[in-house]
């Protein structure tokens, strides 16, 4: 189960609602030592919202990299984060992967199934995000991207047959409270706490995650018959 933390510690953790993007970005850098980089944002247009990138058919409105050199712009400095979000307070918060953590991406239904199994197994989890498009991201130690294909095969699954994706170097994840146009906000399924500062290795989580994704894939094939 998720640990209950004290009031003093809780005050240092970004909340899911009612907190500015700037404050969250600064705390991610300051408290977790995560690199952060501002992404696109949502703009009000004719009674609706549109991504600041200007693309009418944007796949992730308000929640993707704003510039091709985003990786070099990322900073782990709280001062740097404050400076960037002061200039653009509506910018989404992107966390580059492959640096202080990698992220294992799975469908939401498989993710919650895996979470329940992990709790029964007594596994120590890192932070986990849940996105409006029903995806979940499990934060693990860097280097997971290179390990996952062989680990999945060792468990008896073909990597291409299950919906499990690893985000490592050159990628990023959107962090709460980033909003995705027309869908809602990224939220914490397991929020950052002092207890999960030390991330698990992917080898500790891959079995329940692959099992949950494999079960979902089998169910999908059954429904398709």
φ, ψ at 63 (rounded to 5°): -145, 40
The reported pLDDT for the residue numbered 4 is 30
DSSP code, position 196: G
Beta bridge partners of 137: 105, 129
| Six token digits for residue 102 | 């990698």
| Six token digits for residue 75 | 């900073």
DSSP code, position 17: S
The reported pLDDT for the residue numbered 96 is 98
Q: How many residues does the chain have?
A: 225
pTM of the predicted model, to two decimals?
0.88
- Supply the mean pLDDT for the chain: 89
Q: How far apart are the first and last CA of the chain?
A: 38
Tell me the pLDDT tens digit for each residue of 146-196: 999 999 999 999 999 999 999 999 999 999 999 998 789 999 999 999 989
Ranges 8-17, 138-147, 214-223, most confident? 138-147
Tell me the pLDDT tens digit for each residue of 34-56: 999 999 999 988 878 899 999 98
Which of 190, 169, 180, 55 lies closest to 116 in space, CA to CA?
190
pLDDT bracket for residue 7 (50, 70, 90): very low
The reported pLDDT for the residue numbered 2 is 40
The reported pLDDT for the residue numbered 225 is 65
CA angle, residues 213, 106, 12, in degrees to nearest 5? 135
Tell me the pLDDT tens digit for each residue of 96-132: 999 999 999 999 999 999 999 999 999 989 999 999 9
């Amino acid at each position: 189960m998720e640990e209950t933390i004290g009031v003093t510690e809780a005050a240092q953790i970004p909340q899911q609602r009612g907190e500015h993007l700037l404050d969250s970005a600064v705390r991610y850098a300051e408290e977790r030592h995560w690199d952060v980089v501002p992404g696109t944002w949502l703009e009000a247009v004719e009674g609706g919202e549109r991504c600041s990138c200007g693309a009418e058919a944007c796949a992730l409105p308000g929640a993707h990299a704003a510039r091709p050199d985003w990786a070099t712009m990322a900073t782990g400095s709280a001062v740097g984060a404050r400076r960037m979000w002061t200039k653009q307070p509506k910018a989404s918060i992107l966390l580059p992967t492959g640096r202080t953590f990698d992220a294992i991406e799975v469908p939401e239904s498989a993710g919650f199934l895996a979470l329940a199994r992990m709790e029964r197994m007594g596994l120590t989890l890192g932070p986990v995000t849940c996105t409006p498009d029903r995806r979940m991201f499990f934060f693990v130690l860097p280097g997971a991207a290179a390990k996952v294909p062989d680990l999945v095969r060792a468990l008896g699954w073909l990597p291409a047959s299950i919906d499990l994706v690893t985000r490592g170097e050159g990628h990023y994840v959107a962090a709460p409270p980033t909003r995705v146009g027309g869908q809602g906000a990224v939220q914490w399924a397991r929020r950052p706490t002092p207890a999960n500062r030390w991330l698990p290795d992917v080898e500790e989580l891959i079995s329940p995650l692959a099992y949950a994704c494999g079960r979902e894939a089998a169910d999908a094939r059954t429904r398709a018959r």
